[in-house]
């Protein structure tokens, strides 16, 4: 066989081997998470090497325990879910309103300092988050926002505004300016053009941005830890899981149920909007 | 996606506008200027209040004595001192920590881009179910960090982790490996985790660029008898070079600043104390806000130096090209 044909063969087969391996590596931790979340801890400790359990061993008690309020002997994840939903939901709405205005201005209007502003937004990502943490804890405890969900939400808004302005602006620029101009000639004001013409056209981009912001806020850990660690009733799902995982009191399989509760909403949202999301994030990358 | 590329259209606008404008045009421009500022105003206010001011304050804090417990009394007007920097830079732990951060960042960056490239190449040609495989590939990146670090901890646990159980049963390990609790295992594991979690990020960008490579160029190479390796080396890789460079910088910056992955996996023990985790431990463990702030400043400075070197290099390669 010629060297050429040999290489074609090797690459042809290698490709499928690589795909199979990558699938195992990415999916296994998630499948194992789901499996353990339905198993009593004793079964796992008896034989940790198992990949499957007899059907009679499966239980949903883990989920009941993790979701029940603390005073009923559970772990109170239902309350954590509510906290996470409030914080992530509000952060998403505020970020979107603020960054739609900002992105539209940067994409369409020329105003004093427009270029400086892009640099300012970029700088948010250059600083280690931990640099912001110390002063923010001080600042928020001075104005009484430390230990509050409102303070946490504000931090999430700031952390997500730059990326959402970037995603939205790229999309706004693909909308032909002539569409807006003809509306303006018909007498629509700037605000009307934005709400009646531009926003409906930009809906796919707005949805993917919203999803991305929600994901960041739902998944965030450091600031939740700094602001809320002392008050259990304010914990988010991420914080709750990490705090309980440090201890030994709560069985690991119950916490696996907690992990599923934490991960599932994100995966559902992600699968619903995967296409939009990757396009929104990488737009511009294919232009080299 | 470099900022210069994004700015290019602005520059055209500026040069295109004539120097002298009729009065009506002038009024319109002033209104546009006002509207623009008004719309971008909320963003600027929020970013300044929650990013710019804290960063500046952090710099001030680095020059003051302040314990975590007196945080309510903190004010920018306390006396200045260099003690924090003296203490931080004099501590042996700091330099070790900086070295750990560099090893961690470089290892994780190169690893995740390499794996992302392999994944992108494997998924380039379409096949049935590619959409699903592609979606599955992005899961580690979108899933909550707390959940995935917890699963990794359970998988790798010396007592009940399935990895150790299998290693002992099928690979003949005579005793369980403590992946997260001993040197140098812990650092390697943390890097492996980071590669696992962020290869999808590289994959996403690389496959977008790959699919924009014109098919006829590759077909022509096939007709000319180029082997798969040659097609990769001389056609595909040069096309990807700019995206790889961008990814390297993005990932280096992000990993360098990373806190939660390492903190959640090891808490910074067993030789994995990266600077961000060390800052956190100073703040909440030693209650020394001043020294924590000083370390954060040093961390930012190191990163700024990296960034400057990169920008210099970028400017040089671009001027060579043109």
Asked if residue A57 lies in contact with residue A39, where contact means CB atoms within 8 angstroms, the answer is yes
- How far away is chain B from the Cα of A168, in angstroms, using its nearest Cα? 13
Burial of B168 (0-12, 13-18, 19+ CB in 10 A): middle
Q: Could you give the ipTM of this predicted complex?
A: 0.87
Structure-token match 């960008």, residue found: B205
SS3 B285: coil
Query: With respect to CATH, is domain B89-321 assigned 1.10.3720.10?
Result: yes
CB proximity list for B235: less than 8 A, separation 6 or greater? B213, B217, B218, B221, B226
Question: Which of residues 127 through 186 in chain A touch B, CB cutoff 8 A?
Answer: 127-139, 141-142, 154-155, 157-158, 161-162, 165, 173
Q: Which of A119, A214, A129 is nearest to A164 (CA)?
A: A214
* Closest Cβ–Cβ partner in A8, A133, A215 for B142: A215
Per-residue confidence band for A90, with pLDDT thresholds at 50, 70 and 90: very high
- Encoded tokens for A144: 């009484």
Give the CA count within 13 Å in the CB-facing half-sphere of B140. 29
Question: Domains in chain A, start-ordered, CATH in brackets?
Answer: 3-67 (no CATH), 77-287 (1.10.3720.10)
pLDDT on residue B12: 41
Give yes or no for B198 touching A (CB within 8 A). no
The residue in chain B having the minimum alpha-carbon distance to the alpha carbon of residue A2 is B227
Give yes or no for A7 touching B (CB within 8 A). yes
Q: Name the average pLDDT for chain A.
A: 82
Give yes or no for A264 touching B (CB within 8 A). no
Give the domain ranges of chain B: 89-321
Collect all residues of chain A within an 8 Å Cβ-Cβ radius of residue B118: 18, 22
* Residues A152-210: tens digit of each pLDDT: 888 898 888 888 888 888 888 888 888 777 777 777 777 787 888 788 888 888 888 89
* Closest Cβ–Cβ partner in A26, A105, A218 for B144: A218
Residue B149 has pLDDT above 90, yes or no: yes
SS3 B66: coil
Cross-chain Cβ contact A278/B204 below 8 Å: yes
Cross-chain Cβ contact B61/A134 below 8 Å: yes
Give the residue from A96, A138, A181 with the most B CB atoms within 10 Å of its CB, the best one to mutate: A138
pLDDT on residue B125: 81
* Residues B274-312: tens digit of each pLDDT: 888 888 887 777 777 777 888 888 888 888 887 788 778
| C-alpha–C-alpha distance, residues B11 and B4, integer Å | 10
Residue A288 has pLDDT above 60, yes or no: no
Whole-angstrom CA distances from A146 to A152, A154, A236, B71 are: 8, 11, 15, 12
Residue B235 is given by DSSP the state I
Give yes or no for A115 touching B (CB within 8 A). yes
Collect all residues of chain B within an 8 Å Cβ-Cβ radius of residue A165: 43
What are the helix and strand counts (H, E) for chain A?
Answer: 14, 0
């Amino acid at each position: 066989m010629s060297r050429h044909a040999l290489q074609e063969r090797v690459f042809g087969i290698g490709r499928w081997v690589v795909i199979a391996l990558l699938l195992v590596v990415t999916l296994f931790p998630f499948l194992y998470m789901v499996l353990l979340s339905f198993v009593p801890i004793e079964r796992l400790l008896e034989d940790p090497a198992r990949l499957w359990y007899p059907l009679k061993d499966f239980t949903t008690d883990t989920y009941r325990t993790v979701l029940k309020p603390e005073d009923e002997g559970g772990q109170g994840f239902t309350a954590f879910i509510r906290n996470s939903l409030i914080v992530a939901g509000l952060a998403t709405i505020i970020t979107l309103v603020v960054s739609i205005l900002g992105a539209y201005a940067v994409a369409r209007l020329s105003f004093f300092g427009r270029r400086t502003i892009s640099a300012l937004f970029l700088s948010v990502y250059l600083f280690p988050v931990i640099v912001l943490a110390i002063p923010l804890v001080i600042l928020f405890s001075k104005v009484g926002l430390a230990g509050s969900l409102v303070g946490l939400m504000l931090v999430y808004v700031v952390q997500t505004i730059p990326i959402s302005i970037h995603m939205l602006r790229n999309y706004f620029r693909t909308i032909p300016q002539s569409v807006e101009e003809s509306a303006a000639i018909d007498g629509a004001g700037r605000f009307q053009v934005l709400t009646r013409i531009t926003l409906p056209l930009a809906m796919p981009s707005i949805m993917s941005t919203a999803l991305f912001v929600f994901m960041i806020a739902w998944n965030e850990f450091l600031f939740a830890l700094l602001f809320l660690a002392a008050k259990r009733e304010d914990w988010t799902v991420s914080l709750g899981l990490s705090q309980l995982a440090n201890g030994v009191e709560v069985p690991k399989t119950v916490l696996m149920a907690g992990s599923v509760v934490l991960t599932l909403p994100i995966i559902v949202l992600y699968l619903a909007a995967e296409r939009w999301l990757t396009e929104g994030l990488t737009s511009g990358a294919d232009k080299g | 996606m470099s900022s210069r590329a994004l700015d290019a259209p602005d520059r055209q606008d500026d040069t295109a506008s004539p120097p002298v404008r009729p009065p009506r045009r002038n009024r319109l421009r002033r209104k546009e200027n006002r509207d623009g500022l008004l719309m971008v105003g909320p963003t600027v206010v929020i970013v300044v209040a929650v990013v710019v001011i804290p960063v500046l304050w952090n710099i001030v804090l680095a020059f003051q004595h302040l314990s975590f417990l007196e945080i309510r009394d903190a004010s920018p007007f306390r006396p200045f001192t260099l003690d924090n920097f003296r203490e931080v830079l004099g501590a042996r732990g700091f330099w070790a920590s900086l070295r750990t951060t560099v090893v961690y960042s470089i290892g994780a960056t190169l690893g995740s881009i390499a794996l992302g490239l392999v994944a992108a190449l494997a998924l380039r040609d379409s096949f049935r179910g590619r959409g699903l495989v592609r979606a599955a590939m992005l899961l580690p990146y979108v899933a909550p960090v707390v959940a995935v670090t917890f699963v990794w901890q359970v998988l790798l646990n010396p007592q009940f982790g399935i990895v150790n159980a299998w290693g002992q049963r099928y690979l003949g390990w005579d005793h369980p490996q403590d992946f997260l609790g001993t040197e140098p295992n812990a650092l390697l594991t943390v890097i492996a985790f980071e590669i696992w979690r962020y290869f999808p990020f590289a994959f996403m960008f690389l496959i977008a660029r790959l699919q924009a490579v014109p098919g006829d160029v590759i077909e022509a190479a096939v007709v000319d008898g180029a082997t798969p390796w040659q097609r990769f080396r001389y056609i595909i890789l040069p096309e990807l070079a700019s995206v790889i460079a961008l990814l390297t910088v993005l990932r280096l910056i992000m990993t360098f600043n990373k806190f939660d992955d390492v903190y959640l996996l090891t808490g910074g023990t067993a030789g994995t104390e990266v600077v961000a985790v060390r800052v956190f431990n100073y703040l909440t463990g030693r209650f020394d806000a001043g020294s924590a702030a000083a370390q954060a400043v040093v961390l930012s400075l190191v990163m700024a130096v990296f960034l400057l070197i990169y920008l210099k290099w970028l400017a040089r390669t671009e001027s060579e090209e043109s």
